[in-house]
Amino acid sequence: MKQNILIAEDDADIVELLTLYLDSADFCVCVANNGIEALEIMKHDKISLALVDIMMPEMNGYEFIKEVRQISDIPIVIISARNQDADKIMGLDIGADAYISKPFNPLEVIAYIKALLRRCVKNTEEKEVLKLGELELDMEKFILRKNGLVLPLTLTELKIVAKMMKTPERVYTKAQLYECINGELYESDDNTMMVHISNIRSKIEEDPANPQYIKTVRGLGYKIENKKK
């Protein structure tokens, strides 16, 4: 069964280009010209992944992502001409899983989509429950709980936490953590992973400035440990 990819973009040329490549990759395409139309599609159709522009009329990409994260944890990839670090950080901070700057290589976009969807399938196939201190990660439902309460992590944040919770105390480089998100693809921008880790800490730590679970190993990367050790 083909998977539905939502394109939220008001540039007809970009929509046509992405649709051409998505069709060739055997995906079904749903198109919205603004965030409001995209949100309506999300509510009525089964969408596997969304490609979202930031600058759209009526409801921009940031507002759309915030609304989507209230109802779904599907992968979201921002594709935008805005390529400043602040734009990228904001997009990841509100729940996007990846940020691609325009102009882009359509084949790279398809590779990102396939990698993210592969990870989704893998996560839904795993049945185990990972436990660490007060944290419990249900790998079947892909939900992280702390003391029984569900924590509002994005799909990308959950992938990072799952990677580390499977092997507590192991130090992971940024490249290795990127790989768990996008398969063989990973970005070289250290700021991106720093944003993800910061967001995770803000959701799982009692004091994010003094983390007890996710620790930074200077010059190497990050690890997770049981704070009650």
| pTM flag (> 0.85) | no
Residues 94 and 68: beta-carbon distance below 8 Å: no
pLDDT the model gives residue 139:
81
Residue 69's nearest CA partner among 45, 89, 37, 91 is 91
Topology (CATH) of 128-224: Arc Repressor Mutant, subunit A (1.10.10)
Look at the block and give the residue holding tokens 């599907």. 74
Domain ranges of the chain: 4-121, 128-224
**Residue burial 31-47, b: 16+ Cβ < 10 Å; e: rest:** bbbbbbbbbebbeeeeb
Q: How far apart are CA 167 and CA 147, in angstroms?
A: 21
Confidence (pLDDT) at 122: 58
Per-residue pLDDT, 229: 47
pLDDT of residue 54: 93
Mean pLDDT by 10 residues, the chain (229 residues): 92 95 95 94 91 92 90 89 86 88 91 84 63 87 89 89 89 83 57 88 92 90 78
CATH top class, domain 4-121: alpha beta
Torsion region of 26: left, alpha or beta (phi above 0 gives left; psi -120 to 50 gives alpha): left
Q: How far apart are CA 183 and CA 18, in angstroms?
A: 21
